[in-house]
Amino acid sequence: MNKRVLITGATGFLGSHLCDRFIKEGFSFIAMDNFITGSEENISHLYQNETFSFINHDVTEFSSPKEKLYKKEHKDFSNYIKK
| Binding residues vs ligand NAD (CB under 6 A) | 8-9, 11-15, 32-38, 58-60
- The DSSP code for 10 is T
Residue 1 or 47: which CB sits closer to ligand NAD? Answer: 47
- Helix (H), strand (E) at residue 8: strand 4-8
Residue 66 or 75: which CB sits closer to ligand NAD? Answer: 66
* Least CB distance to ligand NAD at residue 1 (A): 28
Residues 52 and 43: their CA atoms lie apart, in Å, by 10
Residue 61 or 75: which CB sits closer to ligand NAD? Answer: 61
- Say if residues 16 and 43 touch (Cβ distance below 8 Å): yes
